[in-house]
Amino acid sequence: MAINTRIILICSGKGGVGKTTLTANLGIALARQGVKTAVLDADFGLRNLDLLLGLENRIVYTAQEVLEESCRLDQALVKHKQEPNLSLLPAGNPRMLEWLKPDDMQRIVSMLSEQFDYVLIDCPAGVEDGFKNAVSASKEAIVVTNPEVSAVRDADRVIGLLNTHGVKPVQLVLNRVRPQMIASQEMLSIDDVTDILALPLLGLVLEDEQVIISTNRGEPLTLSGSNSPAARCYTNIARRMQGEEIPLIDPSKEGSGVGSKLRRLMQTKIF
């Protein structure tokens, strides 16, 4: 079982592009498909994966205690209340950054891989020690980026580093896509991004206000089975990770149909 565990780093370089949101939503979506999934918050300095999953108040022990061997792994793991297939290993306190080494990270991940089918590692922003620790423990990676020049540039840098660390395969998720802005050429198009990054596109996530609402509530969108655009995108990504063939959405068709116009109307004006 440990051999087949997929250890996936979710990283971006730039902050605020949606790493943690993607980690939380993919974690839930994978768990809903029945695979045992662990999400590991490797962002020790600024942890908030627990917030997004709504598990902040259940944390007793963290990765720090596990490493110090003052508790067992299963004591530190926080099971999600509605999705028992999903567990969170919370980040310890920010002071861990001073002593945490790649070896420690590898130890945690190898412990997790004995129990889970998927280990998703929420990588900190930047390319410094926190990133290096997280990379050292990962087998494959998902790079998240937005259709913005600065996010793409940072993603490119990160992909270069992933290659030198031998992380393979690396796939791309393009987050916060606004079809209308792409159509009016105010935003980088999908092709512009994949042209530079030259990675297989695992999925697009459409810009969606529901994401902000769900983040603040601590209930990832994929949890409620919501039919909002972003929720569908996240679920599709999780299914593709599981090997299902699902075509990518076409942003040029998205948001022009009557159905989606109606949906947008429902989600914005009414209620």
Partner 1 sequence: MQGMEVETRFITLPSRKKADWRGYLSTKLNEIRSGQIDINCQDWPFSCRDLKQLISIIDRAGLKISIIRSEIPETIVSAAALGHETFLILTKGHKESPNRALTDLRVNKDPNILFHEGTLRSGEHLEAEGDVLLLGDVNPGAKISAGGNVMIWGRLRGIAHAGKYGDQTAKITALELRPLQLRIANEVARGPEELPEPGLTEQAELVSGKIVIQPARSRLSSPKRPN
Summarize as ranges the residues that interact with partner 1 (CB under 8 A): 153-154, 156-157, 159-160, 163, 196, 198
Dihedral class, residue 98 (left if φ above 0, else alpha if ψ from -120 to 50, else beta): alpha
Q: Give CA–CA dist 103/20, Å, rounded.
A: 23
CB of 101 to partner 1, least distance (A): 24
DSSP 212-245: HHHHHHT--GGGTT--SHHHHHHHHHHHHHTT--
Nearer Cβ to partner 1 (70/163): 163
| Cβ-based nearer residue to partner 1, 163 or 227 | 163
Read off the amino acid at residue 61.
Y
Q: Which of 159/206 has CB closer to partner 1?
A: 159
Minimum CB distance to partner 1, residue 169 (Å)? 16
Question: C-alpha distances in angstroms, 114 versus 109, 117, 126, 186?
Answer: 9, 8, 29, 47
Choice between 57 and 164, CB closer to partner 1 = 164
CA 80, distance to chain mean position in Å, is 16
Q: Select 35 or 161, whichever has its Cβ closest to partner 1.
A: 161
Quote the least distance from Cβ 87 to partner 1, whole Å. 34
| Helix (H) and strand (E) counts in the chain | 12, 8
CB of 193 to partner 1, least distance (A): 12
Structure tokens at 135: 């990379």
Compute the least distance from the CB of residue 140 to partner 1, in Å.
Answer: 18
